[in-house]
Amino acid sequence: MKRLDLIFSERELSQVLEALNACNVPGYSVMKHVTGRGASAGSAVSEDMEFTGLGANAHVIVFCNENLIDQIREKINPVLNYYGGVAYLSEASPLN
């Protein structure tokens, strides 16, 4: 089983979810209003503008079989390349 972590601007959430749904992923978890420190942010933690939500990121986690990864990559990479964001792929196994 694979775990895919996607972190991107919250404004692009609908485009990312459309791409995942087009790949028939079995499900995903969405966390909104994610802030943190990236490589280009220096030592400061980025903060969103609470009133508008601008600057906030979203974090989507997908668990799926390896056979979906190429299809997901094909759909997700154009979105992330255009709007920005990162994707990390790792191995996952159930705890029990």
pLDDT tens per residue, range 40-96: 655 555 555 555 555 688 999 999 999 999 999 999 999 999 988 999 999 999 898
Domain ranges of the chain: 2-91
Q: Residue 54: which of 11, 12, 15 has the closest Cα? A: 11
Contact 26, 63 (CB under 8 A): yes
Looking at residue 37, its pLDDT comes to 72
- pLDDT of residue 25 exceeding 60, the answer is yes
pTM: 0.84
CATH number belonging to domain 2-91: 3.30.70.120
